[in-house]
Amino acid sequence: MRASEILIHKRDGGILSTEQLRFLIHGYLDGSIPEYQISAWLMAVYFQGMNEDETGVLTREMIASGDTIMLGPGVRPYVDKHSTGGVGDKVSLILAPLAAACGVAVPMMSGRALGHTGGTLDKLDSIPGYQSVLAPERFAAIVAEVGFAMTGQSERIVPADRKLYALRDVTATVESIPLITASILSKKFAEGAEALVMDVKCGSGAFMKTPEAARKLAEALVRTGASLDREVVAVLTRMDEPLGAMVGNFLEVEESCRVLAAAETPALVFDQPAFSDRRLADLLEVTLHLTAWMIVLGGKARDHRAALDLAHARLIDGSAYRAFCANVEAQGGSVADLEAGLGVRRAPVVHELRTECGGVVHEIDAYRIGMAGVDLGVGRNRAEDSVEPHVGLELLVKRGERVEPNTPLCRLYATNETAMAAAIARTAGAFVIGGAEAGGAVPQSSSWIIEELHELE
- Segment 322-344 mean pLDDT: 96
CATH number, residue 287 = 3.40.1030.10
Residues 114, 166 within the same domain: yes
Residues 254, 164 within the same domain: yes
pLDDT at 405 over 80: yes
* pLDDT (tens digit per residue) in 343-389: 999 999 999 999 988 999 999 999 999 999 999 999 877 667 788 99
Integer Cα distance of 415 and 130 in angstroms: 22
Whether residue 157 contacts residue 151, with contact meaning beta carbons closer than 8 Å, is answered with no
Q: Of 135-144, 261-270, 294-303, which range is least confident?
A: 261-270
Percentage of the chain modeled with pLDDT above 90: 78
* pLDDT (tens digit per residue) in 429-443: 999 998 644 444 444
Whether residue 426 contacts residue 368, with contact meaning beta carbons closer than 8 Å, is answered with yes
- Segment 145-167 mean pLDDT: 89
Domain that holds residue 373: 349-438
- Asked if residue 316 is part of any domain, the answer here is yes
* pLDDT (tens digit per residue) in 306-321: 999 999 999 999 999 9
Task: Report the number of distinct structural domains present in the chain.
Answer: 3
Residues 139, 229 within the same domain: yes
- Asked if residue 55 is part of any domain, the answer here is no
pLDDT at 444 over 70: no
- Asked if residue 98 is part of any domain, the answer here is yes
Count the Cβ atoms, other than its own, within 10 Å of residue 124. Answer: 23
* pLDDT (tens digit per residue) in 9-21: 999 999 999 999 9
Average pLDDT of the chain, as a whole number: 91
pLDDT at 455 over 80: no
CATH number, residue 385 = 3.90.1170.30
What integer pLDDT is reported at residue 392 of this predicted model? Answer: 97
Give strand pairing partners of 258: none
What integer pLDDT is reported at residue 369 of this predicted model? Answer: 96
**Model confidence band, residue 74 (pLDDT cutoffs 50, 70, 90):** low
What integer pLDDT is reported at residue 75 of this predicted model? Answer: 67
Residues 309, 412 within the same domain: no
- Asked if residue 443 is part of any domain, the answer here is no
Percentage of the chain modeled with pLDDT above 70: 93
What integer pLDDT is reported at residue 268 of this predicted model? Answer: 63
Integer Cα distance of 3 and 41 in angstroms: 9
Residues 93, 162 within the same domain: yes
- Asked if residue 57 is part of any domain, the answer here is no
- Asked if residue 102 is part of any domain, the answer here is yes
pTM: 0.92
Residues 83, 228 within the same domain: yes
Residues 364, 327 within the same domain: no
* pLDDT (tens digit per residue) in 23-42: 999 999 999 999 999 999 99
**Model confidence band, residue 265 (pLDDT cutoffs 50, 70, 90):** low
Residues 294, 356 within the same domain: no
- Asked if residue 380 is part of any domain, the answer here is yes
Give strand pairing partners of 232: 196
Cis status of the peptide bond prior to 107, with omega within 30 of 0: no
Residues 200, 95 within the same domain: yes
- Segment 422-429 mean pLDDT: 95
CATH number, residue 27 = 1.20.970.10
Residues 146, 206 within the same domain: yes
- Asked if residue 61 is part of any domain, the answer here is no
Residues 254, 355 within the same domain: no
What integer pLDDT is reported at residue 437 of this predicted model? Answer: 47
Residues 245, 366 within the same domain: no
- Segment 148-172 mean pLDDT: 88
Give the residue numbers annotated as catalytic, written as ranges: 82, 161, 168, 183, 187
